[in-house]
Amino acid sequence: MRFVLLVLCFSWLCSCTTETNTHTLPIVKIEGSEADFFSDSTGIYVVGIGTGTNWQGEKANYFEGRKIQVRFEYIEDGEVKIDQQVGLKVSGGGSRKQAQKSFNIYADEAYGLSYLSHAFFKDLPFSHYRSLRLRVSGQDWRKTHFRDALMHTIVDGLNVDKQAYQPVVLYLNNQYWGIYNLREKFNKSYIRQHHHLDKSIELDLLEQRNNINKGDNQAYLDLLDYIQEHDLKDTEHFNYVDTQLDLENFLDYYCAQIYFANTDWPGNNIKYWKARTESGRWRWFMHDTDLGFARAPLYMHPGGVEHNTLAFNLNDQETNLHNQPWATFLLRHLLKNEAFKVRFKSHFLHLLDTHFETNRVLNIIDSLQQQLEPEMQGHIDRWKVEDSEFYPSKEVWRENIEVLKDFARKRPDIVKEHLQAL
């Protein structure tokens, strides 16, 4: 029965496929085995026989995390820039259940080449990538399709590790698959590239509550123990912590997340890293901000333009939200130091009048919207028939973008009021 439905689905797709020469965005073409994508037993894109399990105990093939080999083409200005074999996985958390799914792309010697060699992101000086993400805007998929990219663009120029953004259109096995957000992937290769670190330097990459991604967490646990045992009101104690944390990065990162009203954080979607060098300090990486900018409240997350995300990050009581005491520990203890508190408030107020200033943010929203505008009707036509909650028209899509603009207009003054109580 599923096979029949797939055939019908692809018959429909063939009738509405967009011509590749009509696009205003770069084109990605991915070609792989139909069975690897869509069969019940091995298809990574379908529920299938349910070989993988998510954190809620739901079973589906797309939770398995299996990598398949595919052909990857990148076409820009009508010219094929890349045509090579790569590895591909379905990626994301809850967004894996959406009709349009995200992918991770991997270059590997097993597929013939170690890098994807192209300057995908015009604002970056890099032309070699070990891995990339093709993202569907996560939990924002049914809203604006660029919410996370917006927040990463807003922090451009700040001391924050973020993912570059380039919208593209995707053809999967020659079928139009809609708009995707091409993004950098955060990993050791990203860190070495952006921070000019030699491969001989070991790295510790952590996420969530001290969970190890790469390396180990002992240095971080030692730092937490020190803070727990030493009052940071004391300048000597604070100065030691200053040698362990990149406080400029910390300030920019926390101010941005609080301005964004991101409540799917700090107890979730938090990644941080340190180089094992004498001068290495812990830094934070902007990651998965989809519920910011008034996407929440939803899924039991608080949020919205009025939300006091500063107070949310100062909670010291057990909670079912993402502001558990372990997650708010660092900011709470750093703010015990009066000099840091003054610095935090002053820096935040400066950012609210510069990087987060209303007209600057509105201009960024307009520019991101204009990039997608010529492609959006085809994208809507592709997905609205497969998801009853997807926006049915460009008019509704534009209404969703007005939520971003309303946030940009109101949020700076609201955060300034919250800062007065600090």
Which tens digits make up the pLDDT trace of 69-109? 999 999 999 999 999 999 999 998 888 999 999 999 999 88
- Look at residue 169 in the predicted model and tell me its pLDDT: 98
**What is the average pLDDT across 341-353?**
98
**What is the average pLDDT across 212-229?**
98
- Look at residue 14 in the predicted model and tell me its pLDDT: 41
- Look at residue 156 in the predicted model and tell me its pLDDT: 97
**What is the average pLDDT across 239-246?**
98
- Look at residue 20 in the predicted model and tell me its pLDDT: 64
Residue 11 pLDDT greater than 60, yes or no: no
Report DSSP letters for 271-319, one per residue.
EEEEESSTT--BEEE----TTTTTT-SBTTB--STT--HHHHTT--S--
3-class DSSP state for residue 86? strand
- Look at residue 314 in the predicted model and tell me its pLDDT: 98
Output phi, psi for 405, to 5 deg. -70, -40
Secondary structure letter of residue 162 according to DSSP: -
Label residue 271 by pLDDT band (50, 70, 90). Answer: very high
- Look at residue 268 in the predicted model and tell me its pLDDT: 96
Which tens digits make up the pLDDT trace of 173-195? 999 999 999 999 999 999 999 99
Asked if residues 52 and 98 have their Cβ atoms less than 8 Å apart, the reply is no
**What is the average pLDDT across 320-349?**
98
Residue 413 pLDDT greater than 60, yes or no: yes
Residue 327 pLDDT greater than 80, yes or no: yes
Q: Output the average pLDDT for the chain.
A: 94
Residue 350 pLDDT greater than 90, yes or no: yes
- Global pTM reads 0.93
Distance between CA 223 and CA 226 in Å, rounded? Answer: 5
Which tens digits make up the pLDDT trace of 363-391? 999 999 999 999 999 999 999 999 999 99
**What is the average pLDDT across 5-9?**
40
Distance between CA 170 and CA 25 in Å, rounded? Answer: 10
Label residue 113 by pLDDT band (50, 70, 90). Answer: confident
Label residue 111 by pLDDT band (50, 70, 90). Answer: confident
**What is the average pLDDT across 391-415?**
97
Asked if residues 376 and 384 have their Cβ atoms less than 8 Å apart, the reply is no
- Look at residue 316 in the predicted model and tell me its pLDDT: 97
- Look at residue 108 in the predicted model and tell me its pLDDT: 85
**What is the average pLDDT across 284-292?**
96
Share of the chain above pLDDT 90, in %: 90
Asked if residues 303 and 186 have their Cβ atoms less than 8 Å apart, the reply is no
Q: Which helix (H) or strand (E) holds 16?
A: helix 2-16
Give every CB contact of residue 371 below 8 A, 6+ residues apart in sequence: 25, 167
- Look at residue 19 in the predicted model and tell me its pLDDT: 59
Label residue 110 by pLDDT band (50, 70, 90). Answer: confident
- Look at residue 56 in the predicted model and tell me its pLDDT: 83
Asked if residues 143 and 372 have their Cβ atoms less than 8 Å apart, the reply is no
* Distances, alpha carbon 186 to alpha carbons 183, 195, 267, 288, in Å: 9, 13, 19, 11
Asked if residues 134 and 180 have their Cβ atoms less than 8 Å apart, the reply is yes
Pairing of strands 79-91, 102-106: antiparallel
Q: How far is CA 21 from the centre of its chain?
A: 30
- The residue written with tokens 């991770």 in the block is 104
Label residue 16 by pLDDT band (50, 70, 90). Answer: very low
**What is the average pLDDT across 225-243?**
98
Which tens digits make up the pLDDT trace of 133-148? 999 999 999 999 999 9
Which tens digits make up the pLDDT trace of 197-214? 999 999 999 999 999 999
